[in-house]
Amino acid sequence: DVKVTQSSRYLVKRTGEKVFLECVQDMDHENMFWYRQDPGLGLRLIYFSYDVKMKEKGDIPEGYSVSREKKERFSLILESASTNQTSMYLCASSSIRVEQFFGPGTRLTVL
Amino acid sequence: QQQVKQSPQSLIVQKGGISIINCAYENTAFDYFPWYQQFPGKGPALLIAIRPDVSEKKEGRFTISFNKSAKQFSLHIMDSQPGDSATYFCAASIPGNQFYFGTGTSLTVIP
The pLDDT of residue B94: 81
Among the partner-chain residues A40, A45, A102, the one whose CB lies closest to the CB of B44 is A102
The pLDDT of residue B98: 80
Among the partner-chain residues B34, B95, B102, the one whose CB lies closest to the CB of A42 is B102
The pLDDT of residue A95: 83
Q: pLDDT tens digit string along A27-84?
A: 899 999 999 999 888 899 999 999 998 999 999 999 999 999 999 999 999 999 999 9
CA distance A91 to chain B (A): 9
B44 touches chain A (CB under 8 A): yes
Q: pLDDT tens digit string along B2-37?
A: 789 999 999 999 999 999 999 999 999 899 999 999
- On the question of a cis peptide bond just before residue A39, with omega within 30 degrees of 0, the verdict is no
Query: What does the H/E/C string look like for B26-90?
Result: CCCCCCEEEEEEECCCCCCEEEEEECCCCCEEEECCEEEEEECCCCEEEEEECCCCHHHCEEEEE
Cβ distance A42 to B101 less than 8 Å, yes or no, reads: yes
Measured between beta carbons, the chain A residues lying within 8 angstroms of B95 are 97
The pLDDT of residue B97: 62
Terminal-residue alpha carbon distance, chain A? 37
Q: pLDDT tens digit string along B52-110?
A: 899 999 999 999 999 999 999 999 999 999 999 999 999 998 876 688 999 999 999 99
